Structure 1
Amino acid sequence: MATKIHRGTARLTARGSLTRARIIAGATDLVYDQGVAGTSLDDIMAATGTSKSQLYHYFADKDALILEVIRNQLAKIIAGQGTELRAARSWDGLQRWRDHVVESTRATGGVGGCPLGSLSSELADRSESARRVLAACFAEWEEYLLDGFRAMRADGELSQDADPQSLATAVMAALQGGLLLSQASHDVQPLELALDMALGHVRRYRPED
């Protein structure tokens, strides 16, 4: 795996680390429900029980806090998919990851979509710093798939002419498109179709027995 995205934090006391983490967690929940534009610093202070001086002690401004919200959403996604993503190094493992994502989306009816996708729609064209962090987060998520496809090619489960990077990007694009349409329709079927189409494309590179 490539170097992960690190949070730029100075040395904090244990109490300071907990306070900072509480602010990020509270802001993450509010932004998920209300969007960035609909969430004020006053909202975050009220939800997390912090003062203005505390907030500005840990974050230079709202933009700096939102960058941490983006990173925190990635951490939550990886925590939810990590076991399946790390095991997606074979055809069976790849199918289990697909099934996990579909069933997780079915459980919510598609409500909420992809947190990173929603943040990208709101911020990517308005904030260059946010766009860069979003792109890095998507790349980190995608790299789990990339590592899996590299392993499959090395193990002979993908032909040598397969391009793991292109396959990983195609699957990630299908995932994002499927999640968006499932969010709009509150129906998991678009996600199922998108992932099955993407994995069907990957299977084109499966060596014949």
Structure 2
Amino acid sequence: MAAVVDLVCRRGLRAAELGTVADLAGVSGSWLRGFFADVEALVGEVVRIQVRDVFEGPGRRLMAAVSADDLYQWRDAVTARYRATWISAGYPLGIVVHEVTGRDGRASRALAASLGPWQSALEGAFVRLSDRGELAPGSRPAELATAVMGALVGAMGRFRKAGTSEDVLEPFDIMLRHVLAAPGR
């Protein structure tokens, strides 16, 4: 997996071929093909791993969120986990997001499927906040979750090579603050 991440980060998805990955990983091509039918399947697995690495730890915080403060703590944890993945070529998840977004393939579907549970968890948090009167009247939790996750994924793709910049996920932060700043009932 590290060889695929390195290859995609340095040369893009187009450069990812099973033979090249096998060479970089020091394994035989036939061995690698025993696990992955093609490069799309391999990149799909990389997507799942990268999403898990960034979201799984903070996800527990999200699933228990009942206040704006809880969501800000989740935001901070996701941002910290994302920053922690930085390698010299950039942010692996950001680069993968940039590479697969807009493509019709298994890697793109793997990205959507991997992010889906986190968007659903965010929607659940917004439902809990709405029930407590912490969101604007008439707020639609599903739409808010789509907007916040869209800002997050967009920021990841945009700032894929931003180094350790403090504002790496700023669009995500702005969207979440905007949603939570709306006056409650």
Matched, 1:97 2:97: no
8 Å contact kept, 1:143–1:168: yes
How far apart in 2 are the matches of 1:32 and 1:181?
14
How far apart in 2 are the matches of 1:188 and 1:105?
11
Matched, 1:74 2:43: no
TM-aligned CA deviation for residue 93 of structure 1: 0.5
8 Å contact kept, 1:182–1:188: no
Of residues 186, 196, 205, the one that matches 2:174 is 196
Comparing 47-56 with 140-149, greater Cα deviation is found at 47-56
TM-aligned CA deviation for residue 50 of structure 1: 2.5
8 Å contact kept, 1:84–1:93: yes
Structure 1 runs (4+) greater than 6 angstroms displaced:
none
Q: Which runs of 5+ in 2 are unaligned?
A: none
TM-aligned CA deviation for residue 45 of structure 1: 1.8
TM-aligned CA deviation for residue 168 of structure 1: 0.8
How far apart in 1 are the matches of 2:23 and 2:124?
42
TM-aligned CA deviation for residue 159 of structure 1: 5.1
Task: Give RMSD over aligned pairs.
Answer: 3.2
Q: Which runs of 5+ in 1 are unaligned?
A: 1-23
How far apart in 2 are the matches of 1:126 and 1:196?
27
8 Å contact kept, 1:171–1:199: no
TM-aligned CA deviation for residue 118 of structure 1: 2.9
Larger radius of gyration: 1
Task: Give the TM-score taking structure 1 as reference length.
Answer: 0.68
* Structure-to-structure mapping, 1:31-70, within 5 angstroms: 31-70=8-47
C-alpha spacing 1:189/1:58, structure 2 compared with 1 (3 Å): closer
8 Å contact kept, 1:89–1:147: no
Residue type matched to 1:77 in 2?
V
Task: Give the TM-score taking structure 2 as reference length.
Answer: 0.75
Matched, 1:146 2:111: no
Matched, 1:174 2:151: yes
8 Å contact kept, 1:28–1:73: no
- In structure 2, the residue corresponding to 1:130 is in which secondary structure? helix
Aligned to 1:86: 63
TM-aligned CA deviation for residue 160 of structure 1: 5.5
Aligned to 1:3: none
How far apart in 1 are the matches of 2:184 and 2:155?
24
> Number of residues paired by the alignment?
183
Identical-residue share of aligned pairs (%): 34
Residue type matched to 2:147 in 1?
A
8 Å contact kept, 2:54–2:81: no
How far apart in 2 are the matches of 1:102 and 1:124?
20
Comparing 173-182 with 133-142, greater Cα deviation is found at 173-182
How far apart in 1 are the matches of 2:60 and 2:99?
29
